[in-house]
Structure 1
Amino acid sequence: MSPPADVEAAARAAEAFTARFGAAPEGVWAAPGRVNVIGEHTDYNGGHVLPVALPHTVRAAAARRDDGRLVLTSAQHPGADADVALTDLVPGTPGGWAGYPAGVVDQVRAQVPGGLGLLVDGDVPAGSGLSSSAALECAVALAVRDLLGLDWGPDDLVDVARRAENDFVGAPTGILDQSASVLCTAGHALHLDTRDRTWEQVPLDLEGAGLALLVVDSGTTHDHAESGYGERRRQCEEAARRLGVGLLCDVPDAAGLAALDDGTDEGAVLLRRARHVVTEDARVAEVVALLRAGTDPRAIGPVLTAGHASLRDDFEVSVPELDAVVEVALAAGAHGARMVGGGFGGSAVALVDADAVDRVTAAVAERAGAPRSHVVVPSAGARRLS
């Protein structure tokens, strides 16, 4: 039986679809955003990641059409509908929010000549580093799979969603976000090896340990397609080329990066970028080992904080607003804190005692100017609601 929240969300999306299109949808699907416990910018470098799914989702109500058009509407973007012939879909058309679902449909347009109508609704904060775009892509990919009867397994859904973001929208992300949205399960963190795509569910019972994972929106939004994300990826690729490895996570430890320090400014930058990737991959392994061993989860706090320092100093993707949230959360008693997501804005996460949530929340609101925060419970991945 579906949870009451899923039933209510499906009913709202179906009602909105019917009001917009004049007929009921054939179904409603949902996919969650994610917060990464540890493992930033390792996914496109062949490393490991450890995300959890948010309880917040994007819902897609959908039905097939017979006029050869893709019609897209969003509850979060009123007045910004897209209505385009399937034959006119090209990267960048439609643009904006509509590019993400259009990028999914573009990959199967030969199999859906009649067209599709899609209404999307959701509560994953956009631009906050919580993968709202991946949630949108994955919800639509799941809807397309079911409506067309396609033989897509979890890896196929991840690949279709990622291609929409990489090739149609033009954001050079790895597979972390889409994998988390599809594969995560309630009560667990997803330990994913992005090289061979093997994964395991690692139990994460923070509530049982008297802890909470607090996500704080810095109030500074970002856009992977427009930020320095692509530059960081190119720098990682160049560092790997100079080191003679296929991917940076082929380097076993930071000592193996010494060849990048060639006395030039560029070499120094590449060394810092590569050092973050290699040490971050080691931090994922450390956190997973602690959780597997049944250690008090408070022990992972310093590892999270070390990850933030690396993202700030070596990868240089933090911003003053995120640094302030981390500093204030730690001063208010958090066991660890760090920025999450691709950087250049978005959110931070803090591991706090459950009875300290209000205190830390108040502190970051008052002293860091970040009033929007919420506790994250590791939640379920993409699913059909109705």
Structure 2
Amino acid sequence: MARLRLNALVAAAGWVTSIGGLLAASHAHALEERPLEGVTLAYSAPRTCPSRVELLGRITQYTPHFRLAAEGEDARHFDIRIAREGRAWVGAFDVGEGTGPRSIRGETCDDVVLGLVVAVATALDPHAGLPPETAEKEANVEVREEPPSEPEPAPPVSVPPPRPSERSRPAPAPPPRPVVFAVGLYGGVNGAVSSTLGVFGAFAEASFEPPFARLSWLRPTIRLGAKQSLPRTASVGDSEASVWWTAGALELCPARVTVVDRLTSELCFGTDVGALSAMPKGGAEGGTTRRLWLDYGAALGFRWQMRAHAFAFADLGAWIPLTRDRLRLEPDGVVTEAPRFGISAEFGGGWRF
């Protein structure tokens, strides 16, 4: 089977050669003597890929001779899209000058991004430089180039030109989904309820794509879940009681930042609503006692996207109880009392749809 790994530099150079006639006129003068060209750039990619800011930074490593155009300014437009197709990554690149979109495939998103970066940089500046670290990577990558297609003969004037075959057209990159859903399971500990309780739970979430292209980190997420603690034995005097906690959870996470490839971080604000319960053990009198539970707090989370759908995560949170009722075991006294604030830690995994 042919390998999907690509030589991003050679593939990108092939694109630029095919559109070189359209772009050569804009680079007739020396780079130092011309003003910076204003451009607009649309970028769409899964959240595990480099962000738009990172993409622009990599293009700048090749050529600094461009700037982002102001709103309403007449400027060249670059449209870049990256999507996952099976085990491969596919990037589409269009300069909007009648050449049509070009595609590039690779084993990883970084491979595809490298090719796209070189293509954009060379389209902006035919004399764009090659960073040393990229040259070293080129030597370790296998190349597979597609043979150039032969130009079709011009049809007679009296006959309308034939429509190109659907199979010959490169498949356009699918548009990003506005909402991504996920579910997950986790376990951990919570010290904000009654001493330290072992906790397990489940959640479902909806993550929204960035509403503004320049704010790629702004990815709002709404998360709903349920939490259940393991019972804890509390002693007072000569008596014992089982204490446990059940709650529903709501979290709002306004932003998600890419730390490194496949690893993201987010800050969430949430609340838990449920019940704190206690039941005497042994021969103690009285039945189960329940009290309303309400708290609020924040959690810092890290998520590792292991595959296209599976992910693992870890959260560290701080919570403040709003209801701090004390549960008593008559006639001995207080069984449990919530602290002023407490820390939680959770670890788990999930699945993106």
Normalised by the size of structure 2, how large is the TM-score? 0.20
Larger fraction in strand: 2
Larger fraction in helix: 1
Q: Which has the higher contact order (CA 8 A, sep 6+)?
A: 1
Bigger Cα Rg: 2
